[in-house]
């Protein structure tokens, strides 16, 4: 056990073992380059203590910063390595680490927010932020590393944040022990080289019942999955993400990696505080090549938005939209069956545009805001293939249906017109 209660400077230039804990008060602790200091217990910095660490500081207990001074000397390039199990990072004051590593297993529990200036290595541990922020301010995308470790946040308002200044892809290995495969990782790639900061949180709960904390954008739960825009047909109840643009204004390419076992989803919905409901976004979901992302649990699905720019609300969840079904024939003979081209769910797309073409590629019908009222009439192009009453002759025609949503490609196909 070591206690240092005097205004002194302690130079450590050899390997030192502390049996119980290291507690300093009004003390400068200097760990020389090439030196490993091992503490087999808690490290507690009181009063105006300072750590000038250019070596390696290995701690098996909690790390508690109650020092009113800037505990870690700014230009000290040393490593703090948490080698125990289920350790706390806490104290009255936030700690700015240079290099932080979790060689021990279990949960590294954040009781206060922290910053890492150079590198963060999760190794195999869970970093639980609670309602705090872990900021990695090194803009090198490789400054964050992990093996089986991940970042968890059980409270709305807890984030892993990363500083960026380029168009590299920055990874957020967020996960939860309550989910199969643990990871539901996110990657973000800014559209410009301007400096920016993004924060990500994985919430392993039904968003309807997350009443914990307040997000960076001021969102407070619950986020009722049953309150949604007409276009959204369903929202995932197993987990959701906070994806926040903390600093900067440029759009970004955002990807969220998940598993087909999570469910069959087409997009990601965003909770909009202004409307208090889930609304559709630009995200599109697709299948991944197997084995391409072993370091985040080998997900087989990704939800991606290439030009995501709406970060005014940071609550996102996997979702489905109402798809449309277009029949392949109509028979407008007034018998009450198939007299009109009835497109299922078209009512959810008021800005849709339907175009009908003949076999020569000429437009013969066009309607914006289609309302299931086409029965073979012509309102565009030449009437060379029509009856005298302005109706198309029986035959095969082609359609293009644009739903008026940028992220949904137009539907194309053919229609048999019968009498």
Q: What is the pLDDT of residues 310-323, one digit of tens each?
A: 999 999 999 998 87
Domain assignment present for residue 154? The answer is yes
Please give the pLDDT value at position 321.
85
Which range is least confidently modeled, 3-7, 20-24, 55-59, 86-90?
Answer: 3-7
The pLDDT > 70 percentage for the chain reads 93
Question: The domain containing residue 62 runs over which residues?
Answer: 1-89+96-104
Domain assignment present for residue 410? The answer is yes
State whether 359 and 301 are in the same domain.
no
Domain assignment present for residue 114? The answer is no
Please give the pLDDT value at position 399.
96
Domain assignment present for residue 273? The answer is yes
Domain assignment present for residue 80? The answer is yes
State whether 80 and 203 are in the same domain.
no
Shortest CA distance to 183 belongs to which of 152, 142, 210? 152
State whether 348 and 398 are in the same domain.
yes
Query: Domain tally for the chain?
Result: 3
State whether 43 and 143 are in the same domain.
no
Domain assignment present for residue 59? The answer is yes
Please give the pLDDT value at position 5.
42
CB 48 within 8 A of CB 70: no
Cβ count near 9 (within 10 Å):
10
Q: Which residue has tokens 């079904």?
A: 325
Give mean pLDDT, residues 183-207: 96
Give mean pLDDT, residues 193-205: 96
- pLDDT band of 164, cuts 50, 70, 90: very high
State whether 317 and 335 are in the same domain.
no
State whether 215 and 131 are in the same domain.
yes
Give mean pLDDT, residues 371-391: 77
Q: Give Dmax (Cα) for the chain.
A: 105
CA distances from 8 to 25, 68, 284 (A): 9, 16, 60
State whether 315 and 335 are in the same domain.
no
Domain boundary pick from 268, 295, 321: 321
Q: What is the pLDDT of residues 217-231, one digit of tens each?
A: 999 999 999 999 888
Give mean pLDDT, residues 362-386: 84
Shortest CA distance to 386 belongs to which of 416, 401, 361, 365? 365
Please report, for the domain that includes residue 365, its CATH number: 2.60.40
Q: Which residue has tokens 């800037």?
A: 70
State whether 297 and 346 are in the same domain.
no
Q: Which pair of structure tokens corresponds to residue 231? A: 């276009």
Domain assignment present for residue 226? The answer is yes
| CA dist., res. 230 & res. 349, Å (int) | 9
Please give the pLDDT value at position 167.
86
Domain boundary pick from 321, 348, 379: 321
State whether 35 and 174 are in the same domain.
no
CA dihedral sign of residues 374, 379, 380, 381? positive
State whether 188 and 266 are in the same domain.
yes
pLDDT reading at 147 higher than 50? yes
Q: What is the pLDDT of residues 233-277, one digit of tens each?
A: 999 999 999 999 999 999 999 999 999 999 999 899 999 988 999
State whether 62 and 192 are in the same domain.
no
CB 269 within 8 A of CB 311: no
- pLDDT band of 388, cuts 50, 70, 90: low
CA distances from 400 to 212, 234, 266, 354, 408 (A): 46, 26, 21, 6, 13
State whether 179 and 249 are in the same domain.
yes
Domain assignment present for residue 112? The answer is no
Please give the pLDDT value at position 14.
62
Please give the pLDDT value at position 20.
73
Which range is least confidently modeled, 52-61, 164-173, 386-395, 404-413?
Answer: 386-395
Bond from prior residue into 222 cis (ω within 30 degrees of 0): yes
Domain boundary pick from 273, 291, 321: 321
Which range is least confidently modeled, 43-57, 110-124, 397-411?
Answer: 397-411
């Amino acid at each position: 056990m070591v206690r240092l209660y005097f205004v002194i400077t302690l130079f450590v230039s050899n390997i030192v073992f502390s049996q119980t804990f290291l507690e300093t008060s009004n003390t400068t602790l200097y760990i020389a380059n090439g030196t490993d200091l091992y503490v087999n217990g808690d490290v507690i910095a009181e009063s105006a203590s300072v750590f000038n660490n250019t070596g390696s500081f290995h701690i098996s207990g909690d790390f508690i910063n109650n020092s009113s001074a800037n505990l870690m000397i700014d230009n000290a390039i040393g490593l703090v390595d948490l080698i125990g199990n289920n350790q706390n990072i806490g104290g009255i004051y936030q700690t700015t680490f240079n290099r932080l590593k979790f060689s021990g297993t279990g949960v590294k529990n954040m009781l206060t927010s922290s910053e890492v200036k150079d590198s963060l290595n999760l190794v195999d541990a869970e970093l639980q932020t609670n309602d705090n922020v872990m900021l990695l301010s090194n803009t090198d995308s490789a400054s964050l590393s992990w093996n089986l470790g991940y970042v968890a946040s059980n409270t709305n308002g807890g984030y892993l944040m990363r500083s960026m200044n380029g168009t590299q892809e920055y990874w957020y290995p967020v996960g939860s022990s309550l989910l199969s495969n643990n990871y539901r990782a996110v990657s973000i790639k800014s559209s410009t080289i301007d400096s920016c900061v993004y924060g990500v949180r994985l919430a392993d709960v039904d968003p309807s019942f997350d009443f914990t904390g307040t997000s960076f954008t001021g969102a407070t739960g619950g986020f009722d999955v049953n309150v949604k825009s007409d276009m959204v047909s369903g929202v995932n109840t197993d987990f959701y993400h906070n994806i926040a643009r903390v600093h900067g204004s440029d759009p970004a390419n955002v990807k969220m990696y998940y598993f087909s076992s999570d469910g069959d989803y087409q997009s990601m919905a965003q909770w909009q505080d202004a409307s208090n409901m889930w609304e559709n976004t630009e995200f599109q979901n697709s299948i991944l090549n197997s084995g391409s992302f072993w370091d985040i649990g080998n997900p087989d699905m990704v939800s991606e938005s290439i030009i995501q720019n709406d970060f005014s609300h940071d609550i996102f969840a996997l979702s489905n939209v109402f798809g449309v079904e277009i029949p392949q024939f109509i028979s407008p003979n007034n018998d009450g069956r198939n007299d009109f081209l009835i497109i299922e769910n078209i009512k959810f797309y008021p800005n849709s545009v339907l175009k009908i073409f003949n076999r020569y590629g000429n437009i013969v019908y066009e309607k914006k805001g289609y309302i299931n009222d086409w029965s073979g009439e012509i309102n565009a192009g030449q009437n060379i293939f029509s009856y005298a009453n302005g109706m198309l002759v029986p035959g095969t025609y082609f359609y293009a249906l644009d739903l008026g949503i940028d992220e949904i490609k137009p539907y194309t196909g053919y229609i048999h017109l019968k009498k």
